[in-house]
A = this chain, B = another copy of it.
Amino acid sequence: MTAAASDSLAQRLLAGDKRALARAITLVESDDPAGWDLVREVYPHTGKAAILGFTGAPGAGKSTLIGALVKNRRALDREVAVLSIDPSSPFTKGALLGDRIRLTEHFLDPGVFIRSMANRGALGGLSEAALQGALLMDAAGKQDVFLETVGVGQAEIDIIDHADTVVLVLMPGSGDSIQALKAGIMEIPDIIVVNKADHPLTDTMVREIRGVLSLAPQRGWRVPIVKTEAVRGKGIEELVEKLDEHRAFIQEEGTLSERRKRNLQNEVLAICTARLRRDLEARLKEDASYQALLERVVKRELDPASAATTILAEIEGADVAARGPGSVA
CB neighbours (8 Å) of A275 from chain B are: 308, 312, 320, 324
Nearest CB to that of A158 among chain B residues? B155
Distance (whole angstroms) from the CB of A48 to the closest CB of chain B:
10
- Asked whether A307 is an interface residue with its Cβ less than 8 Å from the other chain, the reply is yes
- Asked whether A280 is an interface residue with its Cβ less than 8 Å from the other chain, the reply is yes
CB neighbours (8 Å) of A298 from chain B are: 257, 260-261, 264
Q: Are A88 and B175 in contact (CB under 8 A)?
A: yes
Q: Mark A124-139, 1 if CB is under 8 A from B, else 0.
A: 0110000110010000
CB neighbours (8 Å) of A294 from chain B are: 261, 264-265, 268
Nearest CB to that of A39 among chain B residues? B303
Q: Are B325 and A123 in contact (CB under 8 A)?
A: yes
CB neighbours (8 Å) of A37 from chain B are: 326
CB neighbours (8 Å) of A36 from chain B are: 305, 325-326
Q: How many of chain A's residues touch chain B, expressed as a range?
A: 35 or more
Interface centre among A33, A261, A272, A297 (most CB of B within 10 A): A272
Interface centre among A39, A87, A175, A298 (most CB of B within 10 A): A87
- Asked whether A287 is an interface residue with its Cβ less than 8 Å from the other chain, the reply is no
Residues of A174-224 at the interface with B, using a CB-CB cut-off of 8 Å, are 174-176, 179-180, 182-185
Knowing that A118-B185, A120-B154, A265-B294 touch, tell me 7 more A-B residue pairs with CB under 8 angstroms. Answer: A39-B305, A43-B300, A125-B154, A152-B156, A257-B298, A272-B277, A273-B276
Would you list 25 pairs from A and B whose C-beta atoms are within 8 A, ordered by A residue?
A: A33-B325, A40-B305, A43-B300, A45-B300, A57-B57, A58-B152, A58-B174, A59-B174, A87-B182, A92-B183, A120-B154, A123-B325, A125-B154, A131-B304, A132-B305, A150-B153, A153-B154, A260-B298, A264-B297, A268-B294, A268-B311, A272-B277, A273-B280, A275-B320, A279-B320
